[in-house]
Amino acid sequence: MAWTELRDLNSTLQAQAGGEWVIENPRGAHALAVGLQAPLEVTIKGSTGYYCAGMNKEAHVHVTGSVGPGVAENMISGSVVVEGDASQYAGATGHGGLLVIKGNASSRCGISMKGIDIVVHGNIGHMSAFMAQSGNLVVLGDAGDALGDSLYEARLFVRGKVKSLGADCIEKEMRPEHLEILADLLQRAGADADPSEFRRYGSARKLYNFHVDHAGDY
How does pLDDT run along the chain (218 residues), one tens digit per residue? Answer: 345 788 999 999 999 999 999 999 999 999 999 999 999 999 999 999 999 999 999 999 999 999 999 999 999 999 999 999 999 999 999 999 999 999 999 999 999 999 999 999 999 999 999 999 999 999 999 999 999 999 999 999 999 999 999 999 999 999 999 999 999 999 999 999 999 999 999 999 887 665 656 556 55
The predicted pLDDT at position 206 comes to 81
Do residues 67 and 91 make contact, with C-beta atoms less than 8 angstroms apart? no
- What does the alpha-carbon distance between residue 214 and residue 218 come to, in Å, rounded to a whole number? 7
Do residues 105 and 82 make contact, with C-beta atoms less than 8 angstroms apart? no
The predicted pLDDT at position 54 comes to 97
What are the residues facing 43 on neighbouring strands?
22, 62
Q: What DSSP string describes 138-151?
A: EESS-B-TTBTTT-
The predicted pLDDT at position 18 comes to 93
The predicted pLDDT at position 5 comes to 87
The predicted pLDDT at position 122 comes to 98
The predicted pLDDT at position 2 comes to 46
Q: Cα–Cα distances in Å, from 99 out to 61, 65, 190? A: 10, 15, 12
Sheet holding 98-101, edge to edge: 20-24, 41-45, 60-63, 79-82, 98-101, 114-120, 134-139, 155-158, 199-203, 169-172
- Helix, strand, or coil here: 134? strand
Question: Following CA atoms 70, 74, 80, 84 in sequence, which dihedral angle do they give, to the nearest 10 degrees?
Answer: 10
